[in-house]
Amino acid sequence: MRRLKMRRMALLIKALVCWCLLCEVSRGVRAQFPRVCATVEAIESKRCCPSPGADAEDACGVRTGRGACDSVRTDTRPWGGTYTLRNVDDRERWPTKFFTQTCTCFGNFAGYDCGECKFGWTGPNCNLHKAPVTRKNIMFLSEEERRIFLEALQRSKHTIHPEYVIATEHWLGLIDRQTNQTRFSNISVYDLFVWQHYYSVRDTLLGPGRPFKAIDFSHKGPAFITWHRYHLLSLERDLQKLIGDENFAIPYWNFATGGSECDVCTDDLLGGVDPIDPSLISPRSPFSDWGIVCDSLDEYNRLVTLCNGTREGPLRRSPKKRGNITLPTMDDVRSCLQLRDFDRPPYFTNSTFSFRNALEGFDKSDGELDSAVTGLHNLVHDFLSGTNALSHSAANDPIFVVLHAFTDAIFEEWLRRFPKNDSFPEEMAPIGHNRHFNMVPFFPPITNEEIYIPSVELGYSYQIDLGDAGQSPAVFIVAGSCLALFVLILLLVLYTRQRRRREYEPLVSTGYAALKYLVNKASGLYAYWTTLKALHSTTEKRSKYELTGKWLKWNSGRRGFRYLGKQVNQPKFYSKHL
């Protein structure tokens, strides 16, 4: 009996320790909602303004100057695109279907309770710039860095998120009136990352088996880049807190190899191929036991419900081996980086010469529209196939993290080249994609505008050099042609000058001055030359001189003067007359 009590006590202590560790995880912008606001009172009042400390009256840290409870600001500008419904989707005017009052943080404070700092800032008062963490190529990580990253992913998959819960019903059914309980569910840190992506792309629920599919808050529009940038930032901070290392950074995968092999699909990285079932992950990889969530979209639509975080099957991946399917190349990246406009009307999948649309993969990499071509980001998802092929489930695969980190690195290079570009639309983009729209489903609200800034201002950078990707092959061809033309002209000038030097030679070599002139006779041009000939006098021991001369006739066939059948170079003095 005593041993049993001691065992129970040990289990209780272990549980308390685990809970305390979980409570250390950061309280930043996440989705869906803070656990502290998942109450009947908060849902009915539509008010989520908790205190960052023990003082329940210190809503949003107002007493310490951190923030204040305020009305949610939403984008009122018109949206375009294919979603024409109104007031039927709980993501419209996000997050006002759930909360109309949230914390507005002052200065560099952030979080649902203003209890932490914005990305890129640190210190008790959030007034110190935080040294950016460095995202590196996953293929070049040290053995220790690789181990830390893979272990962080594993822990995030199996650790319940201490701060956030997810809604399992849409906004009208969020409170069970029979039990007077809210319908929220716990979820792991990594599965929350998956759920966020699912929730942003899910269909609008109009009734049993009646989904409206023409809606997407994180793809097919300008917010594709800013949404995924913030998505990765949220996971990166969660992983930093989970492993207790604020300098941790997620790596990126440079998928622009142009190859037909997935070089990160190995057991020592993100999982090789199962030799028995090639659609599964190798049993030698710890990712083989990852159950996926939010995969049964048709079932959710039929039941008019939401993904509740339940595991629904194994992770699947089958990189395509067909000869006509290959990964993007660095030439594709170079072409994409030449596009000067972030986006262009109609700000959708048919936008041409749009950097966003080319990077997302609906345009060719040079900005031309070709419905038969899948490029860059989309091509990689298609290449990996399996769980990766569907947008609502793609984030289940850990490759999603490193794939989108490289996509973000390409955007960062573009932003460096065109920092003042203002082609991110303020209106008429698809719903969720206007510049000032609150990104769904991040909470507290944050706009696309706030993330459309250099990465160092958000606390991270990339160990990568895409500077040599600045010129397209066509530019190199033109530059080479111009250089060749310049060299040709230079050689021609040098040749002409050399020829003129030869043509300036006198008709007869002599050390004495000569008088030359032209005479125009009826039969053509004649030249008369004279020279002084020295006659040495032996008696007077001095030289005498006499004038000698010869006539030369112009030979038009050989462009020179002839005298006694001998070719004579054209003299300088009359060259301008010919």
Q: Which residues contact 81 (CB under 8 A, 6 or more apart)?
A: 214, 221, 346, 347, 348, 429, 430, 431, 433
**CA separation for the pair 58, 51 (Å, rounded):** 5
Instruction: Give the tens place of pLDDT for each residue, 260-294.
Output: 999 999 999 999 999 999 999 999 999 999 999 99
Give the pLDDT score at 542. 46
Q: What is the pLDDT of residue 152?
A: 98
What residues does each domain of the chain span?
25-48+57-121+149-458, 474-503, 506-577
Task: Dump pLDDT digits (tens) for 415-433.
Answer: 999 998 889 999 999 999 9
Q: Where is 561: in which H helix or E strand?
A: strand 560-563
Which segments of 202-342 does DSSP mark as H helices, in order? 223-243, 297-303, 330-337
* DSSP result, 422-433: --S-SSSSBTT-
The pTM of this model reads: 0.78
Band (322; pLDDT cuts 50, 70, 90): low
Question: For every residue of 101-132, which 3-state class applies, written as one string?
Answer: EEEEECCCEECCCCCEECCCEECCCCCEECCC
Is 110:74 a contact under the CB 8 Å cutoff? no
pLDDT of residue 484: 62
N-to-C CA span, the chain: 126
pLDDT, residue 480, reads: 53
Angle between helices 189-201 and 143-157 (to 10 degrees): 70
CATH domain 25-48+57-121+149-458 topology: di-copper center containing domain from catechol oxidase (1.10.1280)
How many C-beta atoms lie closer than 10 Å to residue 93's C-beta? 17
pLDDT for 212: 94
The answer to whether residue 371 scores a pLDDT higher than 90 is no
Q: Which of 525, 219, 493 is nearest to 377 (CA)?
A: 219
Give the whole-angstrom CA distance, residue 76 versus residue 81: 16
- 264-273 long-range contacts, CB within 8 A, separation 24+: 264/138, 264/139, 264/399, 264/402, 265/317, 265/319, 265/399, 268/146, 269/138, 269/146, 269/150, 270/397, 270/398, 270/399, 270/402, 271/315, 271/317, 271/398, 273/317, 273/318, 273/319
Residue 532 has pLDDT above 60, yes or no: no
Q: Which residues pair with 133 in a beta bridge?
A: 460
Asked whether the predicted pLDDT for residue 114 surpasses 50, the reply is yes
Per-residue pLDDT averaged across 346-350, rounded?
Answer: 97
At residue 242, the pLDDT reads: 97
Mean pLDDT of the chain: 84
- Could you write out the DSSP letters of every residue in 378-429? HHHHHHH-GGGGSTTTGGGSTHHHHHHHHHHHHHHHHHHHSTT---S-SSSS
Calculate what percentage of the chain has a pLDDT beyond 90. Answer: 69
The answer to whether the bond into 211 is cis (omega within 30° of 0) is no
**Whole-angstrom Cα distance, residue 430 to residue 423?**
15
Residue 176: pLDDT over 50: yes
Biggest CA pair distance of the chain = 152
The pLDDT value given to residue 157: 98
Band of residue 207 on the pLDDT scale cut at 50, 70, 90: confident
pLDDT at 317 over 60: yes
State how far the Cα of 10 lies from the Cα of 129, in Å rounded to an integer.
42
Place of tokens 């090789």: 272
The reported pLDDT for the residue numbered 266 is 97
* Distance (Å, whole) CA 198 – CA 192: 10
Q: Of the given ranges (51-65, 101-115, 357-371, 523-537), which has the lowest mean pLDDT? A: 523-537
According to DSSP, the β-strands at 542-555 and 560-563 are antiparallel
In angstroms, what CA-CA distances link 240 with 245, 251, 328?
5, 13, 31
Burial bucket for residue 44 (CB in 10 Å: 0-12, 13-18, 19+): exposed
Give the CA angle between residues 426, 71, 34 to the nearest 5°: 100
CA 106 and chain centroid, separation: 30
Task: Give residue 496's pLDDT.
Answer: 66
pLDDT at position 545 over 50: no
d(CA 203, CA 445): 21
**Residues 121-133 pLDDT 10s:** 999 999 999 999 9
Average pLDDT over residues 518-526: 46
Q: pLDDT category, 468, cuts 50, 70, 90?
A: low
pLDDT at residue 550 greater than cutoff 70: no
**Lowest mean per-residue pLDDT among 451-455, 533-537, 573-577:** 573-577
Q: Is the pLDDT of residue 21 over 90?
A: no
What would the two tokens of residue 409 be? 């690195």
2 pLDDT band (50/70/90 cuts)?
A: very low
Give the pLDDT confidence of 470-507 residue by residue, as tens digits.
Answer: 444 444 444 555 566 666 677 776 766 665 555 444 43
The proportion of the chain whose per-residue pLDDT surpasses 70, expressed as a percent, equals 75
Please return the burial class of 35, using the count of CB atoms within 10 Å of its CB with bins 0-12, 13-18 and 19+: middle
- Residue located via tokens 């040749």: 495
